[in-house]
Amino acid sequence: MEIYNRLIPFVQKRSDLILFCLCMATILPYFLTCWYIHPYFDDYFFSDQISAKGKYSFITYFYTHWSGRYSEEILMALFNIKITTTNIQYFLFGVFILTVVYASFYYLVNVLLKGIVTLSSRILIALVAFTFYLVCLPELFTSFYWNCSSYYQLCLALLLLNGALIIGYFKKPGSRTKKIILLLLNIFIAGFSEITVFTFGLLYFAIVLYQYFTNGNHLRFWLLILLLFWSCAILNIAAPGNLIRMKAANPDNGFLFSAGRAAYDLIIFHIEYTFLRTPYLFFLLICIPWIISFLRSNSPALNIFNVNPYFSVIVTLLIFYIHHALTIYGAGYSLLGRVFNFSVLLFWIAIVYNFFVILKYFSVNINTDQALLPPFAVKPLLITVVFMFGFSENNRLLWGDLFRKLPAFNKQMHQRYALIESAIQNHQAEVAVPPIKAVPKLYLFREEDHCGNSYFVNEEKYLRETGSYFNISVKLSDRIVANEDRIQKR
């Protein structure tokens, strides 16, 4: 009892420091794993194309032959990593992506809560949100550890930045410079994936509608953004490359099937995953005392919650329904992997937004001592939740690979690079490399060979991509030996 009486005051006094240390310990493996990022499949292809064609020709070629996502192509060309016998650039880029995503979380929190809580509290709130995002991600590999796929996270960071600028505009319209930045950023955002286009396209349309019917003061500005955004979006959607890609995908799902399946997937993928597979609801409930304090403040940021909740909820469900409908009808499969990671964070943010809208609209007057939790209990419970984050599935996966597989995998990959480099220097037309035996669980894209071995970097397609980049034929030494033995037996 005496220990308990001493522990509680200590936790209350040092709660921010404890929470900060727990968050840093939780996200540590995500940064450590960046040391073991290596080029994978399309990384070779895109790097080869950018080097061969040049940045401008690469962008124009892929826009006209494969995808209208001009912003993704610009980012890939600008951040192209030249593949060498070291992976240091991949490590730095992985750390850069993680840091940029956290910075976007912080900027959003800073715009929303500046003037209400201290700088250290804003940093901590952003860190807790960022930690929650990492530990609850449905799929890790394609988010941060596959280079050409991690551009979705850069896109996500820009979307959060855009959201912060929108909040800033509602707080205070600001200078002409801020308006120009917002307009330019939306030109860039319109060049990302179709899901991004329809998310913000519908969002701006909803804002314009609401401004019109409520006689809003900024209707002309939002109408300008809407027209500019959709003008750029048409350049994306109607690009020649998109038509070619659609034909290559050849989806055979009918409209009625896609409409019904999209509703089912919205329930299973977003709603069921969020509320049954993550502690999201519990996380939200324990923060109610803080939410009430925020809604009682006189912050201009509260202007963004002056919306009819029925309208807000309908727009939210429509946006995320379209996420699924577009994927099923246009590509022929459900929303998975990197795209679902991207979509689910937007869904989590939308839930928080609608929760605030409902409380504000109905003028829910709950005293903090009438809330589910008294204010003094919030931080200890948050500390407990964040402590449990360290034992999440994602963290167990990363720590397990860091201690068991990734160091050996890294060593074997560098040995492979050394063999390829030596063969190139000796002007060989072909090089035999041993198969990678250490298979990290993090790397999801694996196929079993004819012997039942799961060699994800030993597949013929991967070796062809590697050989094409280095301009040398790459074969597996064990398969070459096996072929020679088979010939001798004949």
Which pTM does this prediction carry? 0.88
Give the β-pairing of 430-433 and 473-476: parallel
Residue 114's DSSP bridge partners are: 117
Show Cβ contacts of residue 226 under 8 Å, excluding neighbours closer than 6 positions.
201, 204, 205, 207, 208
Do residues 428 and 406 lie in contact, with contact meaning Cβ atoms separated by under 8 Å? no
> Per-residue pLDDT tens for 32-60?
999 999 888 888 888 888 988 899 999 99
> Per-residue pLDDT tens for 333-387?
777 778 888 889 999 999 999 998 988 888 765 554 444 455 555 666 677 777 7
Question: Taking all residues of the chain, what is their mean pLDDT, rounded to a whole number?
Answer: 82
One-letter amino acid identity for 54? G
At residue 458, the pLDDT reads 67
Cα–Cα distance for residue pair 69/59, rounded to 1 Å: 9
Question: Which of 94, 165, 101 lies closest to 133, judged by CA?
Answer: 101
The pair of structure tokens assigned to 394 is 């994602």
pLDDT of residue 485 exceeding 50:
no
At residue 250, the pLDDT reads 61
At residue 450, the pLDDT reads 41
At residue 13, the pLDDT reads 66
203-206 long-range Cβ contacts below 8 angstroms, 24+ apart: 203/315, 203/319, 204/229, 206/311, 206/315
Cα–Cα distance for residue pair 358/400, rounded to 1 Å: 42
Cα–Cα distance for residue pair 27/4, rounded to 1 Å: 29
- For residue 448, what pLDDT band results from cuts at 50, 70 and 90? very low
For tokens 């419970």, name the residue.
381
Show Cβ contacts of residue 403 under 8 Å, excluding neighbours closer than 6 positions.
none
Burial (0-12, 13-18, 19+ Cβ within 10 Å), 134:
buried
Cα–Cα distance for residue pair 7/318, rounded to 1 Å: 48
Residue 432's DSSP bridge partners are: 475
Mean pLDDT of 471-479: 82
Cα–Cα distance for residue pair 278/138, rounded to 1 Å: 10
Do residues 288 and 379 lie in contact, with contact meaning Cβ atoms separated by under 8 Å? no
pLDDT of residue 193 exceeding 80:
yes
Mean pLDDT of 185-212: 89
Cα–Cα distance for residue pair 464/220, rounded to 1 Å: 54
At residue 93, the pLDDT reads 92
> Per-residue pLDDT tens for 404-418?
999 999 999 889 888
Residue 390's DSSP bridge partners are: none
For tokens 């994936």, name the residue.
193
> Per-residue pLDDT tens for 264-313?
888 888 888 888 888 888 888 877 777 877 888 877 888 888 889 999 99
Cα–Cα distance for residue pair 49/469, rounded to 1 Å: 9
One-letter amino acid identity for 64? T
Q: How far is CA 400 from the centre of its chain?
A: 23
- For residue 482, what pLDDT band results from cuts at 50, 70 and 90? very low
The pair of structure tokens assigned to 177 is 């410079």
Cα–Cα distance for residue pair 381/484, rounded to 1 Å: 64
Q: How many angstroms separate the Cα of 410 from the Cα of each of 87, 97, 108, 415? A: 9, 21, 36, 9
